[in-house]
Amino acid sequence: MVVSYLSSDVSRFLDGGKVSKLVELLTIEENSIAYVIGCYFGVVEGVDVVYDDETKVIPRLCLKINVGDDVDDFEFVLYGEIVKKVAPLTCVKLLKENASSTLYPDEIDEMFGDPMLFKVRKEHGCDSCGSVSVEFLDVLFHSNLLEIYLNPGHVAYSTTVTLDDPVISPVVEAEILRSDSCESKIGQVIVPSIPLVFSSPVISSSLKSSCLILYEFIGSNEVKRLSDLFDSKDGSTVIVFGWYDSVCEGVDTWYSGGIYLDQPRFRLKINVRDEYHQTTLVLFDEQVKKLAFETCGVLVSIGESSSVYPDEMDDMYGDSILFKVRKKSVNGRYVSSSYEVVDMLSDPLVLDKFRQYYMPTYGVLDCPFGKLSPFVAHGESYSKEDEYSGEELPCAESKRKAEFICESSSLASEKKLVKHAKII
């Protein structure tokens, strides 16, 4: 069984060839055609338009971008029609001005980190200095490229198969997840038909596709909207999507007996919403650490039952999260429901797959509501695990703010000599 997926669009682009890593540009023969894959890492110089003749009839477009992977970082110099494919709006604007100028291509900012597949002809390579001169013939943007980029054992890197026909495998891409017979309606959850081939996936790489991660996370659980949580069966586990809004109750820690003897327990309540509704979810222990790791560390250092507001979560406002929620009911004078988060995903690539194929009505990533917007919350968020202590918990004020350290890219630190590409 083939263990990777190749879309028909990528297959046609390759035209019987194979995908190569950027470093292979140094070793391929001169005047040969190659298909190299790399991620877009930013603009070096904006789109230039230069008229070589005085009549200003024939414009020449140029764009310099950084393209890299986990090993190499190349500076690609694109010309002509390739530039129009990468930054079409900027090219149209420049050509309308009818003058030699430079303009930053804003439309490609959202492509940062996305894989690109280039068709090139190698013209010259220098082994001593590591520079390469290539002619860019074409470029492809496609969702299947991420699967190819992340999977070193992908069939696209092989020369032993014919790439003219699509190859389907357990690592299934977007087209397989889509249910063509479903008609989306507002408020409706679209649950695709997923092939049984997923029941025993075989993957040649430890890197999983976004589709497979999503499938394993959802499993046999029902997918619902936040507004439908209230109608879920007690004890059931469902999958819901929402935007993080705010902290309902800060992180509490306590020390209890039994299996948790001398081990701190954590609890956090957060407000989550979608387009129409808001509700409160409760998190315990490891799930709390995922969102408020630094605050949990502060509470452990205190060494006693305490409560601290998680400052680091302020920057999460509007973030998209996919929750696996278990509904609990507390029987007392009044029956109330608690929604406990047992797992969650926040990987943007996986969330894109979920929005695209499970809930197409969600649209954009950003939360469209402010914190003060009025919403109806379904039920009280209460759990038996709230009864962790007979005494009122002392409050401890956090003495430090969360710090987010942005590490410099390893690509930048390992940057090699600039590799220029040109078209004759």
In sequence order, what are the beta bridge partners of 328?
Answer: 338
- The percentage of the chain sitting over the pLDDT mark of 70, rounded to a whole number, equals 63
Quote the pLDDT of residue 160. 40
Quote the pLDDT of residue 209. 64
CA dist 297 and 306 (Å) reads 12
CATH 2.40.50.140 residue ranges for the chain: 8-169, 182-417
Quote the pLDDT of residue 107. 86
**Predicted confidence band at 4 (pLDDT cuts at 50, 70, 90)?**
low
Quote the pLDDT of residue 161. 38
Higher per-residue confidence, 241 vs 389: 241
Topology of domain 8-169, per CATH? Answer: OB fold (Dihydrolipoamide Acetyltransferase, E2P) (2.40.50)
Which of 10-14, 26-30, 108-112, 362-366 holds the top average pLDDT? 10-14
**Predicted confidence band at 385 (pLDDT cuts at 50, 70, 90)?**
very low
State the average pLDDT over residues 233-247. Answer: 89
Lowest mean per-residue pLDDT among 5-19, 89-103, 141-155, 211-225: 89-103
Whether 258 shows a pLDDT value over 80: the answer reads no
Mean pLDDT of the chain: 71
Quote the pLDDT of residue 224. 86
Residue 91: strand, helix, or coil: helix
State the average pLDDT over residues 178-193. Answer: 39
Q: Helix, strand, coil proportions of the chain in percent (round to 5)? A: 25, 30, 45
Quote the pLDDT of residue 229. 83
Whether 294 shows a pLDDT value over 60: the answer reads yes
State the average pLDDT over residues 5-34. Answer: 86
How many residues are listed for the chain in this entry? 424
Quote the pLDDT of residue 166. 38
Higher per-residue confidence, 201 vs 112: 112
Lowest mean per-residue pLDDT among 161-165, 348-352, 372-376: 372-376
State the average pLDDT over residues 20-48. Answer: 89
Q: Which two tokens stand for residue 82?
A: 């390739």
Whether 83 shows a pLDDT value over 50: the answer reads yes
Q: Residue-wise over 29-59: b if at least 16 C-beta within 10 A, else e?
A: eeeeebbbbbbbbebeebbbbeeeeeeeeeb
Higher per-residue confidence, 236 vs 207: 236
Lowest mean per-residue pLDDT among 58-67, 209-218, 259-268: 259-268
Q: Which two tokens stand for residue 164?
A: 């003219």
Quote the pLDDT of residue 270. 94
Q: Residue-wise over 100-112: b if at least 16 C-beta within 10 A, else e?
A: eeebebeebeebe
Q: What is the pLDDT of residues 152-183, one digit of tens each?
A: 888 888 854 333 333 433 333 333 333 333 33
State the average pLDDT over residues 52-64. Answer: 74
Helices then strands, each counted (H, E), the chain = 10, 14
Quote the pLDDT of residue 127. 60
* Tokens 């029987």 belong to residue: 331
Whether 346 shows a pLDDT value over 80: the answer reads yes
Our measurement of the distance from residue 112's CA atom to the centroid of its chain's CA atoms, rounded to an integer in Å, reads: 12
**Predicted confidence band at 30 (pLDDT cuts at 50, 70, 90)?**
confident
What's the whole-model pTM score? Answer: 0.42
Neighbours of 75 (CB within 10 A): 19
Quote the pLDDT of residue 344. 93
Whether 249 shows a pLDDT value over 80: the answer reads yes
Q: Which stretches of 123-266 are DSSP H helices?
A: 144-150, 174-177, 210-218
Tell whether domain 182-417 is in CATH 3.30.930.10: no
Quote the pLDDT of residue 305. 85
**Predicted confidence band at 56 (pLDDT cuts at 50, 70, 90)?**
low
Angle between helix 210-218 and 348-357 (nearest 10): 70
Whether 400 shows a pLDDT value over 50: the answer reads no
Q: Are 245 and 317 in contact (CB under 8 A)?
A: yes
Quote the pLDDT of residue 246. 93
Higher per-residue confidence, 195 vs 210: 210
